[in-house]
Chain A
């Protein structure tokens, strides 16, 4: 049996009541446009939020220490603090650092292969670290070697020269030395601030810059320096599962020194959450919009279908009286909705692409992959069929006897 055998009469019937069909088709088209683009945005944000930062986020936290007393000695305080922090049971590693991955604020510089103000340069985040950084950040050295204790120097406020040695992330090495040849970057000289040479002594697998919205998020350089500043940050990695306990102890221990203020004691988990807050908010909002919109559209279809069933009660009764089975009637309404939905999703496919082009041009998003559209079409077809099923069943239940009544 041909399921489409009723298509001819249905189309003729629809052409007499165009406006209802057009309204549903348009609703389906707009709904598809919004839903497909929303899903696309959600997927993009989800992927962005789940990029690996390369560090042991679950067990790490950091804090700021702002010294202010007149006799406050930066270097001895920092050295003593690190010693004391490392002595706290549960602390796995700790160091002083200038900026925190994903936190939103930090230092950036650019490196170049050739000296000179007009040479091509590559932006990079800068972390000032000590020789324990691999352990603190849970990094893997993929080429060369890491800094030793003797490499670490104190960096003064306003100091303009740089260390002789530098360790860079693999992503930065790939930019500087090529996707294939990056391991050969070890031992090569790169230039910072146009002309100052630094030798790449090692390459680490992965670490992210402080700015989650930056295109070159994975380009990072590590410099073997400790800041001789009054205001410093300590980054602490606790043993598995002991972060919260350690965090409390470290904070109260450091606060004993009344010559300083301890601020922003924060876990990496919280930092990630803050860094991607607007993305996760966008995902939640768009999900709510999609669900509500689908319900509204489905209810609209139910409403209009019920109405058209009521109006056609007599005709349905007549068809039943003339021998149509219940399933014939059911099929009639399902097929009618299918045809209307088809028009809707075809228009919807065009609108979806249109909106995507607008989003790409206005907001610089990437264009959507083609397969979103057929998936969206199928989903909207299903929504239409589900919504019309109830009214169609009621139509099928119309007794043939109704044909003989006047009203």
Chain B
């Protein structure tokens, strides 16, 4: 029966090609616009590390000024830590695993004279970074606790840098001059680009990952510059690099891995204890305001999804609604022009149910065609988004299988929903009324 209805559907569409084309086009445009914006929102709000996003927590403590909060609107604590707090909290080792980190940068001078020196971004982190964030390695591995403690000049480089400097060979054990110091390469990362770049959204949620990774304490050892956001509320006591490290300036991030809710409340209690202890030393003048947020909470708080993307998604869903209203009108027109045929079918024995089924198949066909065309339009739309937004959009303007399925489903459901009323009207045609006038 289904294939018969399918045939009927295509016959009926062929009878009013313009009307059918209008309906397919309307659905396609609506789906195209919606899927473009849904894709961008979906990618922006995607979970970068689904396997353990609820076990990784971003740490915030409120070291800000007694006179005004860090964030006037929300009252949230500062988004980063001071050097002192990052080190104290890390050294306490109260989580299952924890890592403290910062962004820096400097010039990389390859030994190979043919490769020009270039400026690279550094990620300073403690050894747990790689295991906590499931970072894939192509060659070698990260460093160990000892290397952190001894401030060893070891470095993990990205695949890209390895291509550039070592021609893609296994460079583990090779030497590289970074920021004027000789480093030993101990690992090469495989392709890795979390979207969003959750571990440091402070400095751009859709940035590329840093080029090289090195032990955190080298910041102090080599007096590496502070890249990324640095905010201060209190004047520094004196000049120099150490005064900065000992100041109330925030430029450092901390993540802690906690396996269950108990561990989480335990860690929060530890943070509160720590702050109270510091209060007795004259720091932390504000009321207790410490916060632990797991990955997706932190993405939400940091407003990783651009507001423009949200506005566009709502507008495009309204656009889809207009297209569906349009389709309802056109379907009404179409089905009522078929009323004599429907009357005839009813008269020769088709039940209302049969007719309902038949016309639902017809609207579903229109919907699916519209959906397929819509996906093509969405691909065009995403290409447009990439060319309009440049760099960062290439990370978020991409389809995956779920999205294709979602697009087709959205088209199918919305077209069938649009078809319900016209179909219902068509089925209720009295056979006699239509046969009379023939």
Question: Cβ of A299: which chain B residues have Cβ within 8 Å of it?
Answer: 22, 26, 326
- Chain A 275-309 interface residues, beta-carbon cutoff 8 Å to B: 277-278, 280-282, 284-286, 289, 292-293, 296-297, 299-300, 303-304, 306-308
Q: Is B235 an interface residue (CB 8 A)?
A: yes
Q: Is B421 an interface residue (CB 8 A)?
A: yes
A contact patch SS: helix
Cβ–Cβ contact A261 & B330, under 8 A: no
Q: A23-B325, A277-B388 are in contact. Are A363 and B307 (CB under 8 A)?
A: yes
Cβ–Cβ contact B322 & A30, under 8 A: yes
- Chain B 362-409 interface residues, beta-carbon cutoff 8 Å to A: 384-385, 388-390
Q: Among A55-63, A76-84, A191-199, A234-242, which stretch is in contact with chain B?
A: A191-199
Cβ–Cβ contact B109 & A300, under 8 A: no
The 3 closest A-B pairs by CB, nearest first: A307-B333, A281-B388, A193-B235
Q: A34-B318, A34-B322, A303-B22 are in contact. Are A282 and B337 (CB under 8 A)?
A: no
- Chain A 100-118 interface residues, beta-carbon cutoff 8 Å to B: 117-118
Pick the most buried of A26, A38, A158, A355: most chain B CB atoms within 10 A of its CB.
A158
Cβ–Cβ contact B318 & A33, under 8 A: yes
B contact patch SS: helix
- A196 CA / B236 CA spacing, docked (Å): 12
Number of A-B residue pairs, CB cutoff 8 Å, is 141
Cβ–Cβ contact B322 & A293, under 8 A: yes
Q: A27-B322, A292-B29, A300-B325 are in contact. Are A158 and B239 (CB under 8 A)?
A: yes
Cβ–Cβ contact B239 & A296, under 8 A: no
Closest residue of chain B to A21 (Cβ to Cβ) is B329
Q: Among B46-54, B309-317, B342-350, which stretch is in contact with chain A?
A: B309-317
Q: How many Å from the CB of A396 to the closest CB on chain B?
A: 20
Cβ–Cβ contact B329 & A160, under 8 A: no
Cβ–Cβ contact A30 & B318, under 8 A: yes
Cβ–Cβ contact A159 & B239, under 8 A: yes
Q: A23-B328, A30-B325, A292-B29 are in contact. Are A68 and B109 (CB under 8 A)?
A: yes
Q: Is A249 an interface residue (CB 8 A)?
A: no
Chain B interface size band reads: 35 or more
Q: Is A150 an interface residue (CB 8 A)?
A: no
Indicate which residue in A161, A263, A296 contacts B326 across the interface (CB closer than 8 Å). A296
Question: Cβ of B55: which chain A residues have Cβ within 8 Å of it?
Answer: none
- A27 CA / B390 CA spacing, docked (Å): 34
Question: Cβ of A170: which chain B residues have Cβ within 8 Å of it?
Answer: none
Cβ–Cβ contact B308 & A278, under 8 A: yes
Indicate which residue in A156, A160, A261, A280 contacts B117 across the interface (CB closer than 8 Å). A261
- Chain B 222-267 interface residues, beta-carbon cutoff 8 Å to A: 225, 234-241, 243-244
Chain A interface size band reads: 35 or more
- A289 CA / B240 CA spacing, docked (Å): 55
Cβ–Cβ contact A359 & B333, under 8 A: no
- A355 CA / B244 CA spacing, docked (Å): 48
Q: Is B160 an interface residue (CB 8 A)?
A: no
Q: Is A19 an interface residue (CB 8 A)?
A: yes
Interface on B for A, CB 8 Å cutoff? 19, 22, 26, 29, 33, 65-67, 106-107, 109, 116-119, 179-180, 225, 234-241, 243-244, 306-308, 310-312, 315-316, 318-319, 321-323, 325-326, 328-330, 332-333, 336-337, 384-385, 388-390, 421, 437
Q: How many Å from the CB of B105 to the closest CB on chain A?
A: 9
Cβ–Cβ contact B243 & A296, under 8 A: no
Q: Is A406 an interface residue (CB 8 A)?
A: yes
Q: How many Å from the CB of B228 to the closest CB on chain A?
A: 9
Closest residue of chain A to B312 (Cβ to Cβ) is A285
- A261 CA / B119 CA spacing, docked (Å): 7
- Chain A 17-58 interface residues, beta-carbon cutoff 8 Å to B: 19-20, 23-24, 26-27, 30-31, 33-34, 37-38, 41
- A293 CA / B389 CA spacing, docked (Å): 23
Q: Is A5 an interface residue (CB 8 A)?
A: no
Closest residue of chain B to A117 (Cβ to Cβ) is B67
- A231 CA / B321 CA spacing, docked (Å): 54
Indicate which residue in A19, A34, A193, A406 contacts B332 across the interface (CB closer than 8 Å). A19
Cβ–Cβ contact B119 & A263, under 8 A: yes
Cβ–Cβ contact A303 & B333, under 8 A: yes
Cβ–Cβ contact A300 & B107, under 8 A: no
